[in-house]
Structure 1
Amino acid sequence: MADIHIEEFYKDTAIALVQLYNAFPRRVNLFVEDIAGPDEPDEFGLHSRRHMACFGSLLWLEEEGLLRYVDTIRQEALDQAVLTQQAFSRLSAPASPTLIASIEPEVIAHGDSLPPSVRADLATHIHIIRETLRMGHSARLSNVMQEIFFRDSLRH
């Protein structure tokens, strides 16, 4: 089992990427509170560790070339965020057959009865992320996000 902060990282980045994909190609404000939940700063105005970890995850996505933004809104949000071409391509791309089999066994079981366009859509990373978030399986979500983040580096 992964450390809890790594599981939170995968969940935060998955939610952020889904929000940006759903708005693509529009630029949107990406609020930490919408991803990690409400946060009340302490008496000194400092956010919780959880809030700051989520904010750090959003910044990491930008540093790794998966999103762009115009500015930060304090430590509350990214202003005018949008997916990069690299992120859009990865999210729209089909997942590996191994990942699809582990996440979507019912799709594989009924695959022949589905139209090819539907089968292709159900095999994309973005669909698998959405379904995994909906089901609430943190271990499966970790596998999906690892494939998205590290797929290219694992091939070399």
Structure 2
Amino acid sequence: MSDIHIDDFYKDVALTFLRLYNSFPRKTILYTEDICGEDEPDEFGLHSERFTAGFSTMVWLGEQGYLKYDAPIKQEALDQAVLTERGFLLLSSRSALNFGDPVIGETKASDIPSSVMEQSKTNINQLRKAIKSQSSIMISQAVRYMLDAN
């Protein structure tokens, strides 16, 4: 039996990393709905458990030193969020994972420049491949590998 909330956690970590890496080194507002989807608060103004878990994942990554931010905006976002040095180096370092070589059109892997091949073996690119696959197994493997590496 799968723990769905843990699969959601891994996906939220992956999407948070991707969003912050794509804007690095600029600070950005990291919206919870961009990580775990839109949510309508109930009649008491409370968000769903899924939305709250997505927000909590972002805060947890900050507590663990992967990102920093100025302040939360309710449970809607983290203001002025950016990867820390630890987070950036983790994502840009070489990965032992290999979710496949890059394919550019009809080009064979052996014809791709070595710089492109090397870049494809970074943690961030393995994470991109995992997200693109939409496989919860690949996403969890990628995130566990990275969290264990630090």
Q: Specify the TM-score bucket, using the shorter chain as the normaliser.
A: over 0.9
TM-score by length of 1: 0.89
Distance apart, 1:72 and its partner CA: 0.4
| Superposition map of 1:1-156 within 5 A | 2-96=2-96, 99-100=97-98, 103-104=99-100, 106-107=101-102, 110-152=108-150
Which is helix-richer, 1 or 2?
1
- Tell me the matched-pair count: 146
Aligned mates of 1:38, 1:82 — CA distance in 2:
22
- Deviations, residues 40-85 of structure 1 (Å, cap 9, x unaligned): 1011100000000001100110011000000000110000000000
- Deviations, residues 109-130 of structure 1 (Å, cap 9, x unaligned): x543321101111101111111
Percent identity between the aligned chains? 43
TM-score by length of 2: 0.92
Letter of the aligned partner of 2:81 in structure 1? A
Aligned mates of 1:2, 1:134 — CA distance in 2:
21
- Give ranges in structure 2 of 5+ residues lacking alignment: none
Aligned mates of 1:91, 1:112 — CA distance in 2:
25
Distance apart, 1:10 and its partner CA: 0.6
Aligned mates of 1:15, 1:131 — CA distance in 2:
12
Superposition CA RMSD, Å: 1.5
Secondary structure of the structure 1 residue equivalent to 2:82: strand
- Give ranges in structure 1 of 5+ residues lacking alignment: none
